[in-house]
Amino acid sequence: MPLARVDELFYTSLESPIGRLYLALTDKGVCLLCIDRSEEKFLQELTDSGIKTLRRDDRKGAFVTSELKRYFSRELYHFQTPINLLWGTPFERRVWQKLSRIPYGETRSYREVAESVGVPRGYRAVGRAVGKNPIGIIIPCHRVMLSDGGLGGFGAGVDVKRYLLNLEGHSISP
């Protein structure tokens, strides 16, 4: 259930090198990005979360889709798209804010993120929060890796995480 009462969301989609992306937006910004899901499943998840009205509006999503296209073309290194977090605990939101500050082409370990949010031994809790990130890519959870340099997990699959890291200049082989 969203933290704020939201009766209506807009959504759009675009084809990307990692599959179709679906984005949900409010008038304040992007609130959800789903990778390689069916439109039906995407809409059902939003309906199940309590959203009453969903309207496709590609014009409302034009700025974010343009930024994503530029990101995948290696022309954009920092998103300016407004974000409107509707979900998440205060801890998860703190983690997501830290993820947003990881620069393009850089990575952090779960432990480093845990230390940066004030819970040095909370790397597992950070891992769970990273896994619940509702706006992947824009909030770059793919930039968080294991302390030993391993990829760790990724909601859309490790191959997608590897692709995104390689896109940003990391040389990570299969």
pLDDT tens digits along 34-85? 998 899 999 998 888 888 889 999 999 999 999 999 999 999 999 999 999 9
The model's confidence at residue 156, banded by pLDDT at 50, 70 and 90, is: confident
Catalytic residue among 141, 144, 164, 165: 141
Cβ neighbours, 10 Å, residue 3: 12
Residue 31 falls in the annotated catalytic set: no
pLDDT of residue 155 exceeding 60, the answer is yes
Gap between the Cα atoms of 29 and 83, Å rounded: 5
**pLDDT tens for residues 86-130?**
889 999 999 999 999 999 999 999 999 999 999 999 989 999 999
Q: Label residue 15 exposed, middle or buried (CB < 10 Å: 0-12, 13-18, 19+).
A: exposed
Residue 4: the pLDDT is: 60
Q: What's the pTM value of the predicted model, to 2 decimals? A: 0.91
